[in-house]
Amino acid sequence: MCRRANAAPSVAWAMYQQLQVDFLSLHPTLYESSPGCRRGFCPRCGTQIMFAADYLPGLVDLTIGSFDDPDALAPAFQYWHAERLQWVETVEQLPCYAEFPPSDVLWPG
């Protein structure tokens, strides 16, 4: 569900009690993506910033990538690991580039 909603192989979330979360200016636009599951989007740019579900009463997930300083919120565990894409386990073995890869990597030959 999260992979499809974010169009990404995985999503990093920070989970909080609902009482700990307060949006100071713009409040997310909510969309019921599945029965009992609500996703919140920035009303200005459309970025998904939150998730809440009836099966997680009193909790809210916030997308770590939407924070001003996402490095300050390092994940503590992985969940829904059974739903991961199989190639995710091998990503760390791939070549890394500080920015966009050179054209000969993108279009060899």
Check residue 40 and give its pLDDT. Answer: 95
Residue 58, sorted as left (phi over 0), alpha (psi -120 to 50) or beta, turns out to be left
Question: Which H or E run contains 15?
Answer: strand 13-17
Answering whether pTM is above 0.75, one says yes
d(CA 85, CA 25) in angstroms, rounded, equals: 36
Q: What is the pLDDT of residue 74?
A: 87
Task: Render pLDDT for 53-70 as a digit per residue (tens, 0 to 9).
Answer: 999 999 999 999 999 999
- The predicted pLDDT at position 10 comes to 82
**Mean pLDDT of the 9-21 span:** 91
User: What is the per-residue pLDDT for 78?
Assistant: 86
